[in-house]
Amino acid sequence: MSKITVSAPGKCILFGEHAVVYGHPAVAVAIDRRISVSIQPSKTGSWLLDGNELNMSKNPHISGLIKKLWPADLGAPALSIQIEGNIPRSSGLGSSAALSVAFAGALRLARGRWLTAPDSNQQQHWAEGFSSSISQTNPYDLSCGFFATTPTNELHHLNGMDAIDLDEIAILSHGAEANAQNGRASPMDSSTCAHGNIVVISNKIERNIDYLYQRNLTTHGSEISWHIHALELVQQPDDVYLVIGNTGINAPTGKQVAKLAELLRQNPMKMKEVETIGKIARRGIDALLGGDYDAVGRSMSENQLMLKSIGVSSPELEQLIKAASPTSLGAKLTGAGGGGCMVALTRNPQLTSDAIELAGGRTFITKLGTAGLTVETNDITPIWTKS
Ligand code: PMV
């Protein structure tokens, strides 16, 4: 049966996890592991996930995106969803963001997008959708669906790839992450999985890096603002790789983020370490821009010391990092920590990988950056087009 399939990569974080939740800079890299989501009309009339009835409350990322992009109250039909991929779950590699990005992309493709009729300047605008520059809809509020500004008979329909907008995909996925992490989620995973390659998040607009958009999120009484950039390496290094080592221990992000929030509440002085992570990330960004991978590696190892000091590392992670260190330029945990994965930057990927495996980790080697959202199959669009 014909279907729509969209894939998105996982990510690892070179600098700045946890501190980025508090608005400090961070860098994430899309990795050679992906999740793909296929959708097609459901034959049973109910939502299906991998052949079984979809439990909406157990799949908050999926149900949140359905509310946003596929409203049953407007007649959107139930779909059958199939998920495949090789990104380990709850291990700091952005599996949930990759899932959200791929699913949001598939739904948008299945729906297309309505545009307004050309205005007096022959400009057409979105009649519905989500974006960092649209204020009518709130991607972070699940009760707030999409909007249509003009009567349907004046609208124009945009189909296929042209309907997809990466800012929209990333902001909806950020909303899904924030809802799943009790409001505390940076846009790092969602933007990296959507755009691919290397994403830099900063508390200011960086002059030397391509600017994508701004994100604002009000959470736990404070408004945090991030500037998101796409970093294009002057030259993809052909002698530097990332080795990811998995401890095999599941560590849900929400729990780790809440643990740090509690530590900071009890010991506000620890905020100094969080700020230091931001400063290390800034040095790491300069090193990346300058192609100085020895300095990138040093910053990663410095970052790890701070992550350990704020209590988000674990003995198993430390063991893998120690094993990787002699053959790598730098190593640290990636993601929320407490388990999950570490990452080493190395010119000797096989040696580093062997050392991590010997210490009990499962590894894979990846280059620095890969394609973001990708449409793999598209033979039935649109599935549903009502506005
Ligand atoms: O473990 P992951 O892949 O979900 O990454 C979490 C990164 C944090 O900085 C800890 C949280 C966030 O929202 O940025």
User: Tell me, what's the pLDDT at 146?
Assistant: 61
Q: Which of 56-65, 76-85, 223-232 has the highest mean pLDDT?
A: 76-85
Predicted confidence (pLDDT) at residue 311 exceeds the cutoff of 80: yes
Q: What is the total residue count of the chain?
A: 387
Q: Is 25 in the pocket of ligand 1 (CB under 6 A)?
A: no
CB 354 within 8 A of CB 245: no
* Lowest mean pLDDT segment, chosen from 15-19, 89-93, 297-301, 353-357: 89-93
Per-domain residue ranges for the chain? 236-366
Whether this prediction's pTM lies above 0.85 is answered by yes
Using the mean position of ligand 1's atoms as its centre, give its distance from the Cα of residue 322 in Å: 22
User: Tell me, what's the pLDDT at 155?
Assistant: 77
CA distance 299 to 292: 11
Domain 236-366 carries which CATH code? Answer: 3.30.70.890
Predicted confidence (pLDDT) at residue 362 exceeds the cutoff of 90: yes
Evaluated on CA atoms 345, 350, 351, 357, the torsion sign reads: positive
Residue carrying structure tokens 């929030």: 261
3-state secondary structure 127-195: CCCCCCCCCCCCCCCCCCCCCCCCCHHHCEEECHHHHCCHHHHHHHHHHHHHHHCCCCCCCHHHHHHHH
**Banded pLDDT at 387 (limits 50, 70, 90):** low
Predicted confidence (pLDDT) at residue 216 exceeds the cutoff of 60: yes
Q: Is 343 in the pocket of ligand 1 (CB under 6 A)?
A: no
CB 233 within 8 A of CB 369: yes
Mean pLDDT computed over 288-306 = 96
Beta-bridged to residue 8, according to DSSP, are 35
Mean pLDDT computed over 284-296 = 95
> Position 199: which residue type?
V
User: Tell me, what's the pLDDT at 5?
Assistant: 97
> E strands within 207-270?
210-219, 222-231, 241-246
Nearest CA owner, ligand 1 atom 14: 186
CB 231 within 8 A of CB 192: no
313-319 LR contacts (CB < 8 Å, sep 24+): 313/337, 313/338, 314/247, 314/249, 314/251, 314/338, 314/339, 316/247, 316/249, 316/360, 317/247, 317/342, 319/359, 319/360
Q: Is 102 in the pocket of ligand 1 (CB under 6 A)?
A: no
* Lowest mean pLDDT segment, chosen from 4-13, 115-124, 332-341: 115-124
**Banded pLDDT at 347 (limits 50, 70, 90):** very high
Beta-bridged to residue 82, according to DSSP, are 38
In angstroms, how far is the first alpha carbon of the chain from the final one? 26
- For residue range 115-132, what is the model confidence (pLDDT) as tens digits? 888 878 888 888 888 988
Q: Please give the DSSP secondary-structure letter assigned to residue 333.
A: E
Predicted confidence (pLDDT) at residue 152 exceeds the cutoff of 70: no
The pick from 189, 312, 332 for probing ligand 1's pocket by mutation, whose C-beta has the most ligand atoms within 8 angstroms, reads 189
Q: Is 335 in the pocket of ligand 1 (CB under 6 A)?
A: yes
Question: Which DSSP helix (H) or strand (E) runs through 198?
Answer: strand 198-202
Nearest CA owner, ligand 1 atom 5: 335
Residue carrying structure tokens 């799949």: 59
Report which of 200, 186, 205, 191 is spatially closest to residue 231, judged by C-alpha positions: 200
Report which of 123, 234, 258, 246 is spatially closest to residue 183, judged by C-alpha positions: 258
Report which of 293, 291, 320 is spatially closest to residue 304, judged by C-alpha positions: 320
Report which of 60, 83, 263, 71 is spatially closest to residue 178, judged by C-alpha positions: 60
**Banded pLDDT at 148 (limits 50, 70, 90):** low
**Banded pLDDT at 252 (limits 50, 70, 90):** confident
Q: Is 189 in the pocket of ligand 1 (CB under 6 A)?
A: yes
More confident residue, 157 or 343: 343
* Lowest mean pLDDT segment, chosen from 80-94, 213-227, 242-256, 352-366: 213-227
User: Tell me, what's the pLDDT at 238?
Assistant: 84
**Banded pLDDT at 47 (limits 50, 70, 90):** very high
User: What values do phi and psi take at 365, rounded to 5?
Assistant: -105, 140
User: What values do phi and psi take at 233, rounded to 5?
Assistant: -70, 140
* Lowest mean pLDDT segment, chosen from 15-19, 93-97, 101-105, 114-118: 114-118
Q: Is 297 in the pocket of ligand 1 (CB under 6 A)?
A: no
Q: Which atom of ligand 1 is nearest to the CA of 177?
A: 13
CB 106 within 8 A of CB 61: no
- For residue range 154-208, what is the model confidence (pLDDT) as tens digits? 678 888 889 999 999 999 999 988 887 777 788 999 999 999 999 999 989 998 8
Using the mean position of ligand 1's atoms as its centre, give its distance from the Cα of residue 244 in Å: 16
